[in-house]
Structure 1
Amino acid sequence: MTLDLVHPPKARPGDRIAVLSPSFAAAGAFPEVHEQAMRRLTEVTGLVPVEYPTTREIAATPAARAADVNAAFADPRIRGILAVVGGEDQITVIPHLVADLARADPKPFLGTSDNTNLHHWLWAAGIASFYGGSSQVHLGPGPAVDDIHARSLRAALVTGERLEITDPGESEDVGINWADPRALDSFGEREATEPWSWHGPARSVTGRTWGGCLEVIEWVLTAGRFPFPPHVLQGGVLIIETSEDLLPARNVGWIVRSLGERGILGAVEAVLVARPPVSDLTRRPSTQDRSRLRAGQRDAVVEVVSRYNPDAVVCVGIPFGHTRPQWILPHGGTVTVDGTERRIFADYA
């Protein structure tokens, strides 16, 4: 690959981390969950959270939210940036960002979902980041922080080691409604996970990651926000996941097909597909139907990838993205997808 990316230096215990709402200000809508998340952030990482004017401001303008992102990059005391949660309008924030500020003092950025916009903006600026870490989803709710999340959070922000990505054995699509006091000490409904599904040749691939939430990737590409030719992803690892909008399998396949037509599927050597959410706070299909819906998305993605790149190693069911427990994964960092041993390793340097 021809595009060089900077890997921001790690923070040290006692350093400050900016906690921002570049999309939806869930911190303001559900402050109790947010405040518990901030306490746990310090407990897990040793870092001191710093909020900005729009962290809790519901319906802040795109320009105001961007100003907070710019300010966090401009402040030398800030050594990491964590998004509270995703949303659906971060695409309108991106034009107000100043890439030179991020380049002058690169910092680890963590976020999921709508924050795919920021991950791709950082990539275009030449900066690697980490896909995952929304505090309102993975730190604030429930009786504790999940082990795999805590380990990858520390690795992304502080320690920078290489970790094996494993299956925690259980998963929830959605937690307790954040307006419900039980959200502070109860997980959502969890169920046993299925074994990961491996496809393609039995070989090992080590490459740089690129991707995020499929629905947002579609927006990013439509807006022309990833203006590079596909060969910048040559030999890389595509990481993709779907949101709580619960897209039908055919729609998922259509977006992946567009990545094939764009040349992205042909450029990468491996594809990691997250375990998708198939229920939400108002819709909870039966166990059988949930399994069928997950299998439908899996089959749609595998069929399209095999059509455009039969040599790609594909693994489906990885716990990142919109389900919990969740691994944070490098975006622009190195991941090894071993189709022979059926193991995955991520480098958090």
Structure 2
Amino acid sequence: MARTVRRPPLLAPGANIRIVNPAWPSMSYAPQRVQRAERALRAMGFEVSYGEHAFDITDDGRSAGIAEHRAGDFMAAFTDPGVDAVMSAGGGATSWELLPLLDAPAIRRNPKPFLGHCENVWLHQYLLYEADLVSYYGAAFMAECGEVGGMFAETAASLYRAVTFEGTLSYQPVPDRTNEYFPWMDPQIEATPRTRSIEGGWHWLAEGLGKGQFVGGEMAYLLRCLDRFTPDLAGTVLFWHVMPNNPAPVASLLKDLADRVDLTALAGMVVGTDPRHEPAEWANLVATTLADVVGPVDYPVLANADIGHTDPVWVLPYGADVVLESGVGLHFAPAAR
């Protein structure tokens, strides 16, 4: 019997967004970015609060406090009636440590929007497969909201619509992107505005119309999540992207994915753009590799979507039903307030 998945309540003006730090202690390393990120959310009309341990840092510098404290902040955000939404400060390799410490029934009783990306896919999948809750993938507090010069307009608009809009959510490609990255550890370097010098747009590698649950993530972490949660992805619209520091060839990643998932049984596939490649080059690489690994498919395949380690970026309902139509885009049905 299929499980019922719930969309969280939409946010109203003045909603309190609680910032939690599931993994890397980015807020301790870049306090100037925290200030910009908070201003960005407040400019949208939201209130901002922080988990008790959001600014902690472990002795090895890898995590924002011990796992019990990080998980405690996550659960407190869901169970606190004064909190309306939960947002991750950012990614980090230790997000998975929270899973055995979370309380799925408590989250089901207190459904709220959760926003995160990349390594936070551990939490997106936990919310979907263990708490039956849709979340929002694509933007985190530090990376997107803390952008120098303010959030990119397309990212801000996508985030705001995702968590407040009652109508159909539709997604179109941005006109141009940035592939620049400036380390956050040095405030002078981090304060450099990024330029948008890469052409935007998308590439349809296969045409058609597909309908299904929208799931996926950064490829390396998605593979590990599939081993942990073992979901049946037949009939889903699967999305994936690759971190710029992931050295694995895309062919190896797709073969690993095909070992876990029947890629011929999907309803659609969405591939995020890769800032290491020119868009046309990346689309050709994905198309060639998909043909070699999977062969012909009878569902739409979109490459160079604004998902993953790219900016501006889309914010999308993770686990909600989506329509993917070649030449048209992605459409999610309205959510109830």
Letter in 2 for 1:330: P
Shift of the alpha carbon at 1:345? 2.7
Identical residues among aligned pairs (%): 25
Give yes or no for contact 2:119–2:221 (8 Å, CA) kept in 1: yes
Partner of residue 217 from structure 1, selected from 213, 222, 236: 222
Question: d(CA) in 2 for partners of 1:346 and 1:148?
Answer: 18
Shift of the alpha carbon at 1:348? 6.3
The SS at the match of 2:119 is helix
Q: Deviations over 1:284-337 (max 9, x none)?
A: xxxxx7568735752455325642x61121010011111111011111113221
Shift of the alpha carbon at 1:105? 0.6
Structure 2 CA distance for partners of 1:304 and 1:123, relative to 1, 3 Å: farther
Shift of the alpha carbon at 1:54? 2.1
Tell me the equivalent position of 1:149: 155
More displaced stretch, 161-170 vs 101-110: 161-170
Question: Does 2:110 correspond to 1:105?
Answer: yes
The SS at the match of 1:137 is helix
Question: d(CA) in 2 for partners of 1:54 and 1:303?
Answer: 47
Question: Does 2:250 correspond to 1:263?
Answer: no
Tell me the equivalent position of 1:286: none
Give yes or no for contact 1:253–1:300 (8 Å, CA) kept in 2: no
Q: Give the TM-score, by structure 2 length.
A: 0.89
Question: d(CA) in 2 for partners of 1:348 and 1:320?
Answer: 21
Letter in 2 for 1:243: M
Shift of the alpha carbon at 1:206? 2.5
Give yes or no for contact 1:94–1:118 (8 Å, CA) kept in 2: yes
Structure 2 CA distance for partners of 1:256 and 1:3, relative to 1, 3 Å: farther
Shift of the alpha carbon at 1:94? 1.1
Give yes or no for contact 2:177–2:200 (8 Å, CA) kept in 1: no
Question: Does 2:319 correspond to 1:332?
Answer: yes
The SS at the match of 1:336 is strand
Question: d(CA) in 1 for partners of 2:35 and 2:26?
Answer: 11
Partner of residue 74 from structure 1, selected from 64, 71, 79: 79
The SS at the match of 2:181 is coil
Q: Deviations over 1:156-191 (max 9, x none)?
A: 22224323312222112343332233644x432432
Give yes or no for contact 1:242–1:277 (8 Å, CA) kept in 2: no
Letter in 2 for 1:123: L
Question: d(CA) in 2 for partners of 1:305 and 1:208?
Answer: 23
Tell me the equivalent position of 2:275: 277
Tell me the equivalent position of 2:49: 50
List alignment gaps of at least 5 residues for structure 1.
279-288
Question: d(CA) in 2 for partners of 1:210 and 1:24?
Answer: 24
Structure 2 CA distance for partners of 1:303 and 1:168, relative to 1, 3 Å: same
The SS at the match of 2:263 is helix
Partner of residue 161 from structure 1, selected from 167, 183, 192: 167
List alignment gaps of at least 5 residues for structure 2.
59-64
Question: d(CA) in 1 for partners of 2:68 and 2:330?
Answer: 39
The SS at the match of 1:78 is coil
Letter in 2 for 1:67: G
Letter in 2 for 1:332: G
Structure 2 CA distance for partners of 1:347 and 1:32, relative to 1, 3 Å: farther
Question: d(CA) in 2 for partners of 1:162 and 1:298?
Answer: 29
**What is the root-mean-square deviation in Å for CA atoms of aligned residues?**
2.2
The SS at the match of 2:87 is strand
Question: d(CA) in 2 for partners of 1:108 and 1:121?
Answer: 14
Give yes or no for contact 1:175–1:189 (8 Å, CA) kept in 2: no
Q: How many residues align?
A: 327
Question: d(CA) in 1 for partners of 2:27 and 2:314?
Answer: 22
Structure 2 CA distance for partners of 1:215 and 1:71, relative to 1, 3 Å: same
Superposition pairs for residues 1-349 of structure 1, below 5 Å? 2-44=2-44, 46-59=45-58, 60-124=65-129, 125-178=131-184, 179-181=186-188, 183-184=190-191, 186-193=192-199, 195-200=201-206, 202-222=207-227, 224=228, 226-228=229-231, 230=232, 233-248=233-248, 250=249, 252-278=250-276, 294-295=282-283, 297-299=285-287, 301-303=289-291, 306-307=294-295, 310-339=297-326, 341-347=327-333, 349=335
Give yes or no for contact 1:210–1:332 (8 Å, CA) kept in 2: yes
The SS at the match of 2:264 is helix
Structure 2 CA distance for partners of 1:291 and 1:269, relative to 1, 3 Å: closer
Letter in 1 for 2:268: A
Give yes or no for contact 1:7–1:128 (8 Å, CA) kept in 2: yes
